[in-house]
Amino acid sequence: MNEEAPRTPEEAPPAVDADTMVGISPEIVARIRGAVEAGSLDRVEEIAQELHAADFADLLQELTPEERRLVIAVARHVIDPETLNHLDDAMRTEVIELMGPREFAQAVTELETDDAVEILGDLDEDDTRRILEAMPAEDRAVLEQGLTYPEDSAGRLMQRDLVALPRHWTVGEAIDYLRAKDDLPKDFYDLFIVDPMHKPIGQVPLSRAIRNRRTVKLTDIMDVEFRAIPAEMDQESAAHLFRQYGIVSAPVVDESGRLLGVITVDDVVHVIEEEAEEDLLGIVGVSETDFHAPVGETAWRRVRWLVVTLCNSAIAATVISQFEATIEQIVALAVLMPIVAAMGGNAGVQVITVTIRALATRDLQPRGSAVRRLILKELLVGAINGIVFAAIVGTVAGFWFGSAALGAVLAGAMIFNMVWAGMAGTIIPITLARLGIDPATGAGPFLTTTTDVLGFFSFLGLATLFLL
């Protein structure tokens, strides 16, 4: 057996840079801009046609409004409809205006039903109505029915194109049917076996069907312990089922158990990413569309969070004002106050982030026995960190201002606030989850208020008791 001679460095394949494998490169953006400036419309169309749908979406978002308008006008007839899936809401609205309702509607009808419903559901009512009116009646009816399901539900997430087969068929009959049928789904992983009432009774992975003989009955090789997802189920709960049980595709059923559609793992990946992004952005009160949204719209969205922050600051200022006399006598307190509040706030954010993630991934149930263990753990962590940093800042403050008593007061307030941050960082999001409120959007302001107010109160209160 001959062994292949090792390659010399000159013959070795070049190393692949992972950063160049994903997304639009600066070189392509420069090429398209050069073609636009030179008025080379054929070159613009050629470059656009070469790009993957996701990369073309990235390209549009890199261009200026004027460049975007020209590129879409030139390349609109070669744009892959899948591009619409990769645009954020603000950019998609702009593309509607550039393409026009009829052309946009034509692109939407070429998408899978789940993607089309998601796009229409993200538009405002006027744009949705205009797009639907420009569609053929059959396509419009399917999408309108999909839009009747609650937002972020399995009914919105499912695609209606699937393969459902009768229970009496064999593997051979199924394969012949698949070969003869022209309108199969673009991608599918399972064959759903249904009874005469069109209720799923099992599913056969496509790979298993291919490996069996033609005479084998589908009911002999089907999985009967499948998980049918109600159309009204929240998409986050559906995604949890996929993650928990390693599901590739799952049937979606109505209230009577009839098969409506299918959710596939690629849709679930998008949901997991979307939910994680919403939780992350919600903690600081921003939106995923802020990057591309107009200035006025972005500013208005952030006003609500800033108003809450202003109210928190007003409450903290009120607490500080109650100790005005103490601060006048010991000016060093004004210098040290922010340390207590900032350390408590940052410690609380760490705890609250871990807790929200655990709630989102179902590792923690709001009413489970793990709640007590988590609270106790974070109390102990807060106490340990509080003692460590109390020793550091207390010692520094004592030497800085020449007062061991002042250092001790600062240390005591630090321990108290960091212990409270550990407890509040768990109790607040868990309580909000029990009340049916999204902890990602509501926990942050509550935590900030309590750590600031209690931090100032404990520090100034201890100073009043022991230093005056």
- Residue 392 sits in a domain whose CATH number is 1.10.357.20
Decide if 57 is inside a domain. yes
Query: Do 34 and 104 fall into the same domain?
Result: yes
pLDDT(199) > 60? yes
Burial (CB < 10 A; 0-12, 13-18, 19+), residue 27, is exposed
pLDDT in tens, 340-361: 988 988 898 889 888 888 887 7
pLDDT of residue 32: 87
Q: What is the pLDDT of residue 9?
A: 43
Q: Is the pLDDT of residue 38 over 90?
A: no
Q: Which domain holds residue 199?
A: 164-264
Q: How far apart are CA 156 and CA 115, in angstroms?
A: 9
Q: Specify the CATH number for the domain of residue 112.
A: 1.25.60.10
Structure tokens at 372: 């007590």
Q: Residue 410: exposed, middle, or buried by beta-carbon count in 10 A (0-12, 13-18, 19+)?
A: buried
Parallel, antiparallel or unpaired: strands 200-205 and 229-230: unpaired
Backbone angles phi, psi at 100, to 5 degrees: 90, 150
What is the model's pLDDT at position 16?
Answer: 40
Lowest mean pLDDT among 30-39, 71-80, 205-214: 71-80
**181 & 256 share domain:** yes
Residue 259 confidence (pLDDT): 96
Question: Which of 264, 283, 317 marks a domain boundary?
Answer: 264
Question: Is residue 285 scored above 70 in pLDDT?
Answer: no
Same domain, 61 and 140: yes
Tokens of 79: 């744009």
pLDDT exceeds 60 at position 362: yes
What's the pLDDT score for residue 250? 94
Q: Is residue 4 part of a domain?
A: no
Q: Are residues 210 and 236 in the same domain?
A: yes
Q: Are residues 302 and 447 in the same domain?
A: yes
Average the pLDDT over each of 15-24, 97-106, 286-295 and give the range with the smallest value.
Answer: 15-24
Query: pLDDT for 166-181, tens place per residue?
Result: 999 999 999 999 999 8
Rounded percentage of the chain residues whose pLDDT exceeds 90: 32
141 and 173 in a common domain: no
Same domain, 235 and 384: no
Of 224, 249, 264, the residue at which a domain comes to its end is: 264
Furthest C-alpha separation in the chain: 94
Last residue of a domain, one of 131, 157, 183: 157
Evaluate whether residue 18 is within a structural domain.
Answer: no
Please report whether residue 151 resides in a domain. Answer: yes
Within a domain: residue 269?
Answer: no
Residues 147 and 217 in one domain: no
125 and 151 within one domain: yes
Q: What are phi and psi of 232, to 5 degrees?
A: -85, -10
Does 116 reside within a domain?
yes
The verdict on residue 59 lying in a domain is yes
Query: β-strands 190-194, 164-166: how paired?
Result: parallel
Residues 366 and 461 in one domain: yes
Same domain, 112 and 53: yes
Q: What is the pLDDT of residue 204?
A: 96
At position 451, the amino acid (one-letter code) is T
| Position 281 in a domain | no
- C-alpha triplet 187, 289, 446: angle, nearest 5°: 115
Q: How far is CA 171 from the centre of its chain?
A: 40
What would the pLDDT profile of 227-283 be if each residue is shown by its tens digit? 999 999 999 889 889 988 889 999 999 999 999 999 999 888 888 877 777 766 666
Q: Once rounded to an integer, what is the mean pLDDT over residues 74-84? A: 81
Q: Calculate mean pLDDT across residues 318-327.
A: 90
Q: What CATH number should be reported for the domain holding residue 192?
A: 3.10.580.10
Res 7: pLDDT: 47
If asked whether residues 184 and 254 sit together in one domain, one would say: yes
Q: What pLDDT, on the 0 to 100 scale, is given for residue 165?
A: 96
Neighbouring residues of 410: CB distance < 8 A, sequence distance ≥ 6: 336, 339, 340, 390, 393, 394, 397, 459
How many domains does one find in the chain? 3
